[in-house]
Amino acid sequence: MAPTTFNKPSMERHRVVVTGIGVVSPVGIGNEKFWQSLINGKSGVSSIGDSLVDPRLLGYSHIAGQVRDFDPLQFIDPKQAKRMDRFIQFGVAAAKLAREDANLKDGDVDPYRMGVVVGSGAGGFDTVEKNFNTLYARGPGRCSPFMVPMISANMASGWVSITNNARGPSSCAVTACATSASAIGEAYRILERGDADVMLAGGSDACITSLGMAGFASARALSACNDAPEAASKPFDLSRDGFVIAEGATVLVLESMEHAKKRGATIYAELVGFGQTNDAHDIVMPREDGEGAAAAMRAALKEANLAPEKVDYINAHGTSTKLGDLAETRAIKQVFGASAKLVPVSSTKSMTGHMLGAAGATESAVCCLAIRESKIPPTINLSEPDPECDLDYVPNTARNTKVEVALSNSFGFGGHNVSLVYATCV
């Protein structure tokens, strides 16, 4: 018997646009405050307050990018807030801000045509730590009955679905520090193939805890610039000594072009390319030649049908680690060739610190705002560039320039590489 063959109908690709941005970050809550802080070169890194970490349990690094003045009750019902870890609260707040920014009302979209992909690189670290201590101090019966749904990485996505009555496609990307970029890419694919009209996409993390800090410190991954916190995150600088851990969340409202135009939405930018690869090299170290990262950039640009020289701005992963910054520089050179030194590149982690699973979405927000505002935020704390990191990193001062195409890079433990391309919507 001849094998059965299936002829799939040709699939129309729907264009995807960004109509809302919600940011909860160390440099500001709300996208306007966030943006002004970045343009003014303001650092959100400071000494860690004892409300988050017992100072007696800190290792060699005592600094972080903390979200200060965050009141979950401004965004969440008090009863619900008690059942959420801090990372979930951040995610729900960011989604609320994003919807408000998009002016997306309940009646504007069929609930079954609105989905959610909000990832977390680590889940509920704070809840794990508190319940572990309770277990040993007071016994298993005193652990929270809500512990499991508070620690699960998917529960930011779950709660965003619940609080927005989003009944469409719902999932959670987990690719370490590339998590929220992966989430945006997954949401993009859902919209592109027509399985939803609106997606809330991004990521959230809150790992500034004794256990979280101890883990990264044991790996010798953190900056030790305790005497000058604001100057500690220094991507591409010769004296960089590790990343600065940070917390927060960013959620974007992504819509099909047709849906956005039908409801008269304001559009920040169009998402035109998504590239995703793996180094298949090491659990924490990137390939020194940057080939995996370069492949992700090439894939994103190929999908966007754009030559590298058409890119006006690159928001780098730029974590302020010795090998990571160098590998990314090499990757950019591979992809951009002779134009590598002409395209402005900046790392906003110099100001926010590394927001882990929230970083990619936060930096996608930067790209969209750069397109809207015709401004490129700087890489601060860049006083003595590493001779091997010799690109235009927009040192210390924002730059006014037309940005029609922006590329955002995100890389994570496990070798995950994600690149996203945003462009002026025409």
- Burial letters 207-242, b for 16+ CB under 10 A, else e: bbbbebbeebbeeebbbebeeebbbbbbbbbeebbb
| Structural tokens at position 314 | 């690159």
Catalytic hit among 62, 354, 367, 416: 354
Residue 233 is predicted with a pLDDT of 98
3-class DSSP state for residue 376?
A: strand
How confident is the model over 92-126, as pLDDT tens digits? 999 999 999 999 999 999 999 999 999 999 999 99
The residue with greater pLDDT, 6 or 322, is: 322
Residue 4: band (very low, low, confident or very high) from pLDDT cuts 50, 70, 90: very low
Statement: residue 50 has pLDDT above 90: no
Question: What digits encode the pLDDT tens for the residues 401-422?
Answer: 999 999 999 999 999 999 999 9
pLDDT surpasses 90 at 49:
no
Q: Is pLDDT above 50 for 23?
A: yes
Specify whether 172 is catalytic: no
As a whole number of Å, the end-to-end CA separation of the chain is 52
> What is the mean pLDDT of the segment spanning 263-286?
97
Choosing from 172, 177, 367, 368, the catalytic residue is: 177
**Helix, coil or strand: residue 349:** helix
pLDDT value of residue 207: 95
Give the range among 81-95, 101-115, 130-144 with minimum mean pLDDT: 130-144
Report the pLDDT averaged over residues 214-224.
Answer: 93
- More confident: 277 or 1: 277
Can you tell me whether residue 128 is helix, strand or coil? helix
Averaged pLDDT score across all residues of the chain = 95
**pLDDT of 1 above 60:** no
d(CA 334, CA 331): 5
State the pLDDT at residue 11: 65
Residue ranges of the alpha helices (H) in 103-226?
125-138, 147-151, 155-163, 179-192, 210-218
Q: Encode pLDDT of 337-396 as tens digits.
A: 999 999 999 999 999 999 999 999 999 999 999 999 999 999 999 999 999 999 999 999
Pairing of strands 269-278, 16-25: antiparallel
| pLDDT at position 152 | 96
Which pair of structure tokens corresponds to residue 51? 């409300």
Give the lowest-confidence range in 5-14, 116-125, 241-250: 5-14
Q: Which domains does the chain have, with CATH numbers?
A: 17-262 (3.40.47.10), 275-421 (3.40.47.10)
- Answer yes or no: 416 catalytic: no
**For the residues 162-179, what does the mean pLDDT come to?**
98
Catalytic site residue from 172, 317, 367, 425? 317
Checking if the pLDDT of 259 tops 80, the result is yes
422 contacts 274 by C-beta, under 8 angstroms? no
Q: Which of 79, 83, 76, 78 is nearest to 24 (CA)?
A: 76
Does residue 177 carry a catalytic annotation? yes
Could you tell me what percent of the chain has a pLDDT over 90?
Answer: 94
Could you tell me the pLDDT band of residue 6, with boundaries at 50, 70 and 90? very low
Least confident of 38-52, 320-334, 369-383: 38-52
Give residue-wise pLDDT tens across range 226-244. Answer: 999 999 999 999 999 999 9
The residues near 77 (Cβ < 8 Å, ≥ 6 apart) are none
pLDDT (mean) for 264-281:
98
> What is the pLDDT averaged over residues 318-345?
97
